[in-house]
Amino acid sequence: MSELTHHARTVTGPLGHRGVRTTVEWAPLGAARARAAALIAEHRAHQTEIVRNPHLDQEWAAAMVRSRLLLASVRAVLGPDVAVENTFLVVKWPGRAFEVPWHQDGIDARIELDPARSVAAWLALTDATVASGCLDVIPGSHQAGYLPYGPEAVTGQARGRADTVSVEPEGQLLSVPVHAGRAVLMDMRLLHRSRSNTSDGARVGLNVRYVAPGACLRRDPTCPSLVPVSGTGWSSTPQEGRESST
């Protein structure tokens, strides 16, 4: 590959010039809704909003990140060897303020992921509508690369402060409503956010960061190990990602 071709590929990334794909399925509608109903029942009493890395210890999440339908799409983007770097369950309860500010998924204090070797998947367990706080994205925003970021100014107390980009997002916002059972794939650099849920039902989504070998440019030792979900290329590098320079 010539220098120029490589540069162009790095800028546009594995999802192309828009940096987002919205036609991906991970489960039949009914199965996704049934899982959402179980999670809503489990978390309603405490109004739990965030569960970190449920794929490590909860069977439903371990199964979700291995969805055959989803992995077919992820493999088409990343190649045969795929591991889960992180998962993040977000429940937006009706009538409760919870805005996720503009951010990029592939960089924070603990990680930096090579956008050419990683992809973020946002899986809808309930219908995500504009009213219930679906994702808003800025197509093409990934082409500007990783941007400076810092903690958001205000937040709900139990949640902590989320990272947000410290520059004004530029470009045309696109709201991405998705039905339960469908997913959005995003370039790790794509700017996105979500607003509060003003509908009368809970909105449930799982964010998954998928990586191919060599994707972890920086990863804190406190991060859990990568979980291989596809391919045979992981056996020789079981700790890949805990090392800072592979």
Ligand X SMILES: O=C(O)CCC(=O)C(=O)O
> CA angle, corner 130, sides to 129 and 134, nearest 5?
65
Q: Is 210 in the site for ligand X (CB under 6 A)?
A: no
With CB under 6 A as the contact rule, the residue among 81, 105, 127, 136 that binds ligand X is 105
Q: Which does 55 bind (CB under 5 to 8 A by kind): ligand X, Fe ion, none?
A: none
- Cα dist. 190→46, 67, 129, 193 in Å? 32, 23, 20, 10
- Give which of Fe ion, ligand X, none residue 205 binds (C-beta under 5 to 8 Å, depending on kind): ligand X
Overall residue count recorded for the chain in this entry = 246
Q: Examine residue 180 and tell whether it contacts ligand X (CB under 6 A).
A: no
> According to the binding rule CB under 6 A, does residue 178 interact with ligand X?
no
55 contacts 65 by C-beta, under 8 angstroms: yes
Q: Does 99 bind ligand X (CB under 6 A)?
A: no
- 194: partner contacted, choices ligand X, Fe ion, none (Cβ within 5-8 A by kind): ligand X
CB of 65 or CB of 90, closer to ligand X: 90
Nearer to ligand X, 81 or 136 (CB): 136
The residue among 113, 89, 82, 242 whose CA lies nearest residue 189 is 113
Phi, psi (5° rounding) for residue 110?
-100, -25
* DSSP codes joined into one string, 61-109: HHHHTT-HHHHHHHHHHH-S-EEEEEEEEEEE-TT----EEEE-TTBSS
Q: Which of ligand X, Fe ion, none has residue 83 at its interface (CB below 5 to 8 Å by kind)? A: none
Residue 136 makes contact with Fe ion by CB under 5 A: no
Please report whether residue 105 would count as binding Fe ion according to CB under 5 A.
yes
197 binds ligand X (CB under 6 A): no
Contact 197, 96 (CB under 8 A): yes
Does position 90 interact with ligand X (CB under 6 A)? The reply is yes
- Which residues lie near Fe ion (CB under 5 A)? 105
